[in-house]
Amino acid sequence: MPTTSKYNKPATRRKLSLWEKLYLFEIVRGLLTTFKHLFRPKFTRQYPEERWDPPASFRGRPVLVLEENGVERCVACGLCSRVCPPLAIEVRASETELLKERYPVVFEINMLRCIFCGFCEEVFPEEAIVMSKDYELAFTDPSQGIYGKDRLLTPKAQLKDRLDFLAKMRN
């Protein structure tokens, strides 16, 4: 004989009062509830007109930080491409006369592969690659999904929110 414990008790049903059994009044109560909702403020966001502004912690499309002097921060160490779980990043390095000595000739992120994990951002100590707030990533052709340097470089001023957030979280 099965034992009755707290977890396999047979389902008990609450006794309904006569008022509830009549059902009709409960229906009216339900109808009034939905009627009230007709006049509530709506939750829908009218998307193309009203856009969502994500918080600083949002992980959108990864971008390269462009310093004020017009040079990218990236030194083409290849750590991001190494850590990237879906192998979405390709970096080809070359030398430069600048202080940082190295820079990426080619820096491509395949947005068809990117899983927005943010490892690339995390692995690099100087915040050369960070997650932006851009979430509108639709394209009509797979070849458009590969973002080169031209589309990845973003001025530092635009990424201030994220950089501040990262600085705060580092400590």
Partner 1 sequence: MIIEALIKIAVVLLVVLTAVSYTVLLERWVCAWVQDRIGPNRVGPLGLFQPLADTLKLLLKEDIQPLMAQAWFHWLAPVISITVAFTVLAVVPFGHTLAIGEHIIPLTIASNINIGVLFLVAMTSVGVYGITLAGWSSGSKYSLLGGLRSSAQMISYELTLGLGLLSVIMLSGTLDLNGIIDSQVNGLWNIVRAPIGFLLFLVSSFAETNRQPFDLPEAEPELVGGYHTEYSSMKFALFFLSEYANIITASAVMTVLFLGGWHVPFVDTLGLSPLVMTIVGVVAFTLKVVGFLFMFIWVRWSIPRFRYDQLMNLGWKVLLPLGIANIILTALEKMYLMH
User: Residues in the site for partner 1, rule: CB under 8 A?
Assistant: 24, 27, 30-31, 33-35, 37-44, 46
Output 49 or 141, the one with its CB closest to partner 1.
49
What's the closest the beta carbon of residue 32 comes to partner 1, in angstroms? 9
- Is the separation of the CB atoms in 89 and 124 below 8 Å? no
Count Cα atoms within 13 angstroms, Cβ side, for 27.
4
What's the closest the beta carbon of residue 134 comes to partner 1, in angstroms? 25
Output 42 or 170, the one with its CB closest to partner 1.
42
- Distance, CA of 162 to CA of 87 (rounded, Å): 24
Instruction: Provide the CA 93 distance to its chain's centre, in angstroms.
Output: 29
Output 6 or 37, the one with its CB closest to partner 1.
37
Q: Tokens for 167, please give them.
A: 């600085």
What's the closest the beta carbon of residue 49 comes to partner 1, in angstroms? 11
- Residues constituting the chain: 171
Output 7 or 39, the one with its CB closest to partner 1.
39
What's the closest the beta carbon of residue 89 comes to partner 1, in angstroms? 39
Output 24 or 138, the one with its CB closest to partner 1.
24
Question: Taking Cα atoms as reference points, which of 75, 51, 65 lies closest to residue 160?
Answer: 65
- Distance, CA of 152 to CA of 166 (rounded, Å): 19
| Helix, strand or coil, per DSSP, at residue 56 | coil
- Distance, CA of 102 to CA of 161 (rounded, Å): 27
